[in-house]
Structure formats: structure tokens, C-alpha cells
Amino acid sequence: MLSRRAVLSGLASASSFAGASWADAGAPSHITAAQERDQTFSLCGLRQDGGLAFRIPLPGRGHAAAAHPGMPEVVAFARRPGRYGIVLDCIDGHVIQQIEAPPGRHFFGHGAFSADGTHLFTTENAYETGEGKIGVWSRSKEYVRAGEFASGGIGPHEIIRIPGTERLAIANGGIRTHPATGREKLNLDTMRPNLSIVSQDGRILDVAEVPEDSRQNSLRHIAALPNGLVACAFQWQGDTYDAPSLLALSVNGGALSYVDLPTALHRAMTGYAGSVAFTAGGQRIGITSPRGGVLGIVDAHGSAVDIVHQPDICGIAPSATGMIATDGLGGVVGITNTFTRLSTHPVAFDNHLVRIEQQGTLGT
């Protein structure tokens, strides 16, 4: 799908920015959607120190965003079952264009760019059949719909590119929904979530299913390292206090192995993980539960390092020094060996915090 021509045209398009870079947008290191005090919605660029680099209005509640690997451009997605994605220039905040889900599809709220930045991938629901789809959009052609392929399951939620590679990891949550019934879950008795690893042209390379005895553990959010290690964060659909672990690891889509979290952390999460991230070097994993108001830090072997209670904490992403997390009360916290409140803004930060990859630092 990504022909040599597409790559070249992508490069041509990139050059038209004449050297504009993330630094021009007040050097944001992360982006996140938010709700303002007046109940309107926005997309915020955050700096490494927790300061606000920019704030751009959104027409409705956002969810997550995809940051272009080299340009000051992000695509912010509507909250499920939204149909819009907004391409924003983060230098001056102007909307470059809007993309809209095709008929019979809605977005799940996450997306990812190809390694070369020429294509955008979006998780979508083909809701009449219930099939999970990945929409492919050509950035070089004003984000025209370039095609789609199967996500490898039902209810694909987060999609990421494994850093430094041309492989995509997809969290197929397993839950069938239809916009006519909102977020009602239509197949809890038969659901079977999985992690699918696909090539950028849609070939399924590996599938790791959630084990039969925990089939109601909905895989929603993922993070990955260049070596293919994928951290998986789950939302349990059964009795809260009967939940299996909400964190598992997989190497490149190989069998999922649950991380045995300490009881205090596991129970505090109340069956619900909101986001997951690795530190840049991969030494640690951060997993959040806004329902439990708790953040767990575990090392790569799955041993708990720290448990931090913070109301409505959800967004988490790697930073230069460790990780950064955000909460629904406007808090931005830095996580290194300690846990430091960096700033508090008069907004509610939405579910996800996305680190901006700078060109030249891909895969690091």
C-alpha cells in the first residue's frame, strides 16, 4: 500500500512546511484533549515542564490524538462513537482540515501515523457487521481515504506503531457496539479480545488472544517498545473484585502473559485500566485507573515499584526523564524516581496523553 511514490509525495508535502517544527509551537512535548471550565472542549499541547504550549478549541469532546512523527501536525479524534478527526496545525492552531468516517463507520478515538508520516491509520467500527476496521488515510493527498483493512477483531480501540518499525499493534477490545444503542455492549457473553500485530499494508502478522478463562477482559490500550514488547491494559467486564490482572505483556503479538500486580494496586484499580505507557528506555511501565484514582508503576519484570493515588488520573506517556501523567482535575505530574506535581491547569484533561515524536528521534 505504501508505494515508493507515496513515500516520495509525503516527503514533498513535508518540505512545503519550510522547516516548521514542533519547536515552533512553543515546544510542546505532549498533546491531550481537555474540557474547559465553560464545558467547551479543546486540544492542549503540554511542555515537558507541565506548562501549556497551546490550547486549540475542538467542536466536541475529544479522546486521543495521533501526532505526526516529524511535523507540527496532529489528528485529534472525537470521543467514541464520534465520526470526526481534526487535523490541526499546532504552530498557529488552525484547522488544516477535517476527516470524517465513511458511511457505516465510526471512529473509536485512536489513530497512528505510518513510520514515514505519509499515512494515518484509524480504528473504526463497521457497525452493521460488527467488524473492526483500520481506515487508511493519505496525508499527502489531503487525507483522502486511501483504503482500509481488517483490524483482526471486534472493537479495535487503540492503535499504535511499534516505535522504530513499520508494524502496527492493535488492541481489539472484543466488544461489539452499535451507534443506535450508544455504548451498550452487545456481545459480553461471547467476546474474545485480542492483540493484533499487522504490517502497514494490513497483513496480520500475529494475534494474541485473551485467554478463554478471562475472555471478558477487554483489551483497550497498549504501549510498545522498539524491541516489540507490548504492554496491554484491560477493562474487566465481570465482577469488579473478581477481575484478572489488568496488565499483560506480549512480545510482538506472542502469547499474552498477565502481570501479577500487588493486591493493593489490583483492587484499587477496580477492574478498569485507563492508559498504559513505558518509560522511554523501557525500564518501567505506568498503568492508570481513573476509576480507582490510582497509578501503578511496575518494572519490566512486573514487580510493583510504586502505587500513587491521584483522583481521576488517566493520561500517561513517556517523557525525556520518565513519564508524565494527567488527570481530570487539570493536574500534570512528572514521574521519575519520585512523583511530582508539575502544574495544575483550569481544565479537565481527557483520557489520553500522547507523546510527540520528533523527527530524528523515532524509535528512541
Residues 316-335, interacting with another protein (CB under 8 A): 327-329
**Site track for another protein across 40-79, x = CB under 8 A:** -----------------------x---------------x
Residue 4 as a binder of another protein (CB under 8 A): the answer is no
Binding residue (CB under 8 A) for another protein from 348, 353, 354, 356 = 348
Residues 92 to 151 in contact with another protein, rule: CB under 8 A: 109
Please report how close the Cβ of residue 313 comes to another protein at its closest, in angstroms.
Answer: 8
Nearest to 314 by CA among 224, 229, 214, 235: 235
Total residues in contact with another protein, by rule CB under 8 A: 37
Using the rule CB under 8 A, give the single segment among 10-18, 48-56, 164-172, 287-295 that binds another protein: 287-295
Length of the chain in residues, anyone? 364
213 near another protein, rule: CB under 8 A: no
Position among 4, 38, 242, 360 found at the interface with another protein (CB under 8 A): 242
Minimum CB distance to another protein smaller for 104 or for 241:
241
For another protein, which stretch binds (CB under 8 A), given 12-20, 119-127, 133-141, 346-354? 346-354
Q: Which stretch binds another protein (CB under 8 A): 47-55, 84-92, 203-211, 261-269?
A: 261-269
Residue 113 or 349 having the CB closest to another protein: 349
Residue 274 binds another protein (CB under 8 A): yes
SS (H, E, C) the chain: CCCHHHHHHHHHHHHCCCCCCHHHHCCCCEEEEEEECCCCEEEEEECCCCCEEEEEEECCCEEEEEECCCCCEEEEEECCCCCEEEEEECCCCCEEEEEECCCCEEEEEEEEECCCCCEEEEEEEECCCCEEEEEEEEHHHCCEEEEEEECCCCCEEEEEECCCCCEEEEEECCCCCCHHHCCCCCCCCCCCCEEEEEECCCCEEEEEECCHHHCCEEEEEEEECCCCEEEEEEEECCCHHHCCCCEEEEECCCCCEECCCCHHHHHHCCCECCEEEECCCCCEEEEEECCCCEEEEEECCCCEEEEEECCCEEEEEECCCCEEEEECCCEEEEECCCEEEEEECCEEEEEEEEECCCCCCCCC
Span near another protein by CB under 8 A; candidates 22-30, 223-231, 240-248, 249-257 = 240-248
Tell me the window of 69-77, 97-105, 139-147, 260-268 that interacts with another protein (CB under 8 A). Answer: 260-268
* Binding to another protein in span 6-25, by CB under 8 A: none
Residues of this chain that bind another protein (CB under 8 A)? 35, 37, 63, 79-80, 109, 157, 183, 220, 235, 239-242, 263-264, 267, 272, 274, 290-291, 293, 309, 311-314, 327-329, 341, 344, 346, 348-351
